Amino acid sequence: MDIHEYQAKELLAGYGIPVPRGGVAYSPEQAAYRCTAIGGSAWVVKAQIHSGGRGEAGGVKICHSDHEVEDAANGLFGKRLVTRQVPAGKCVYRVFVEETVDIKQELYFAIVLDRAAETISVIGSAQGGMEIEELAESDPDALVRVTVEPAVGFLEFQARELAFALGLAPSQIAKSSQLFRAAYRAFRDLDAALLEINPLAVTAEGDLVALDAKMSFDDNALFRRPDVAELRDRSQEDPRESHAADRGLAYVGLDGDIGCMINGAGLAMATLDMIKISGGEPANFLDIGGGASPERVLKAFRAVLRDEKVKVLLVNIFAGINRCDWVAQGIVDAFDQLDVAVPVVVRLAGTHVDEGQRIIRDSRLPIVTADTLAEAAEQAVASAAVARRTTTG
Ligand code: GDP
Ligand code: MN
């Protein structure tokens, strides 16, 4: 789960990390009110969307009066901001108004999980401001990486090493290493999966301030972090994914037109690969899990068909704990209760497969059956191609 910049800054401030003074606003009037409450003579108005790259997309504006703040906010509210990270764009419903900071240097700082090595990486660079992907490509040597063993933690000497590697002045080493370790504590204590401060600004006075902050969290740990869970903003999520998540389905939205309903994450990945090999594009990843009841199958059907791009639905079940007859019943129920306007390809194998196939056959519904995964993928790709031709021609 991702959160907004202003929420991340509030969390980080709680761990002692310096952030500019600011306030969130839900309307242009409130934005103007925020700047008078903050005081000073210049402010930054920042679009709050779940994406980076807002600066170059026109989502960060420096203003010199409350009128300018109101105008800037007015221009952002309701706008779909298209960034390099989110080509489809995300809508702005909140802005963050902050005091400006006199920036002398912009650093990059991040903490990420290194899944392969089962460790945590702390990454820093003296060249902040630009996106990490860009930096990694243009000047990989400018990135400093420190490996942290989770059982040991981010030690003082490692934090100091990072501070020296970033070229910070001797007078800044103590406070910067303190800041780095505070960020690590926030990352660990809150079950974060990513923490990025870019830029981490060095001010004219030599202080370090988090000018931007991005955090995302492990969904599987949200149950024990209610104060993090409540920061969720559905307006920023893929509506297909929120719908499925609310119904306990493991669903990831993709860009293709072949809807998928599969049991098991491994089989789901293999099915997506098979679709691609057969020349098609999956519309989603969906794992219905083990022991799925007909009701659950019906819910999964509904989740897949909500996506208007879907031109064919592929069901691939290799039942171990699952029962093919339950899945088949769920499919028949779906035809009964939903408006299934696309071809459905079903491959069933494993527990109670004969009974499952009998239910499909006896229903006399226009369901295409397949015996193998390869055959099912080919059928689905062929059906999608036909559907594409009929809608475009
Ligand atoms: P992002 O583009 O989504 O990553 O948004 P950022 O919060 O990183 O803002 C983009 C850029 O705006 C930063 O790299 C800064 O250069 C600039 N910026 C943000 N806040 C301030 C500020 O208070 N003062 C000044 N002068 N520039 C700022
Ligand atoms: Mn940034």
Evaluate whether residue 393 is within a structural domain: no
List the pLDDT tens digit at each of the 393 positions of the chain: 999 999 999 999 999 999 999 999 999 999 999 999 999 999 999 999 999 999 999 999 999 999 999 999 999 999 999 999 898 899 999 999 999 999 999 999 999 999 999 999 999 999 998 788 888 888 888 899 999 999 999 999 999 999 999 999 999 999 999 999 999 999 999 999 999 999 999 999 999 999 999 999 999 999 999 999 999 999 999 889 989 988 989 899 999 999 999 999 999 999 999 999 999 999 999 999 998 999 999 999 999 999 999 999 999 999 999 999 999 999 999 999 999 999 999 999 999 999 999 999 999 999 999 999 999 999 999 999 999 888 765
CA of 82 to the centre of ligand 1 (A): 17
Evaluate whether residue 358 is within a structural domain: yes
Evaluate whether residue 392 is within a structural domain: no
Q: What is the DSSP letter of 303?
A: H
CA of 171 to the centre of ligand 1 (A): 25
CATH number at residue 128: 3.30.470.20
Return the ligand 1 atom nearest residue 5 CA: 7
Are 261 and 331 part of one and the same domain? yes
Are 5 and 136 part of one and the same domain? yes
CA of 40 to the centre of ligand 1 (A): 18
Task: Give the separation between CA 71 and CA 32, rounded to whole angstroms.
Answer: 9
Evaluate whether residue 366 is within a structural domain: yes
Domain boundary among 100, 130, 149: 100
Distance (Å) of CA 359 to CA 260, 331, 336, 354: 20, 10, 14, 9
Q: What is the DSSP letter of 282?
A: B
Give the ligand with the smallest distance to the CA of 48. 1
* Domain total in the chain: 3
Are 210 and 124 part of one and the same domain? yes
CA of 62 to the centre of ligand 2 (A): 15
The DSSP result for 168-222, as a single string, is --HHHHHHHHHHHHHHHHHHHHTTEEEEEEEEEEEETTS-EEE---EEEE-GGGG
Q: What is the DSSP letter of 116?
A: T
CATH number at residue 279: 3.40.50.261
Return the ligand 1 atom nearest residue 57 CA: 2
CA-nearest residue, atom 23 of ligand 1? 100
CA-nearest residue, atom 21 of ligand 1? 100
Which DSSP helix (H) or strand (E) runs through 145?
Answer: strand 143-148
Ligand 1 residue neighbourhood (C-beta within 6 Å) = 44, 46, 52-55, 60, 98, 100-101, 103, 106, 129, 198-199, 211-212
Evaluate whether residue 219 is within a structural domain: yes
Spell out the alpha helix ranges (H) of 19-112.
28-38, 66-76
184 carries an active-site annotation: no
Are 68 and 111 part of one and the same domain? no
Are 218 and 271 part of one and the same domain? no
Domain housing 380 = 238-387
Length of the chain: 393
Task: Give the separation between CA 76 and CA 30, rounded to whole angstroms.
Answer: 13
Are 352 and 207 part of one and the same domain? no
Q: What are phi and psi of 193, to 5 degrees?
A: -105, -20
pLDDT for res 279 = 97
Q: Tell me which of 108, 184, 251, 378 is the catalytic residue.
A: 108
CATH number at residue 91: 3.30.1490.20
Return the ligand 1 atom nearest residue 211 CA: 20
133 carries an active-site annotation: no
CA of 242 to the centre of ligand 2 (A): 26
Are 91 and 223 part of one and the same domain? no
Which tens digits make up the pLDDT trace of 47-81?
999 999 999 999 999 999 999 999 999 999 999 99
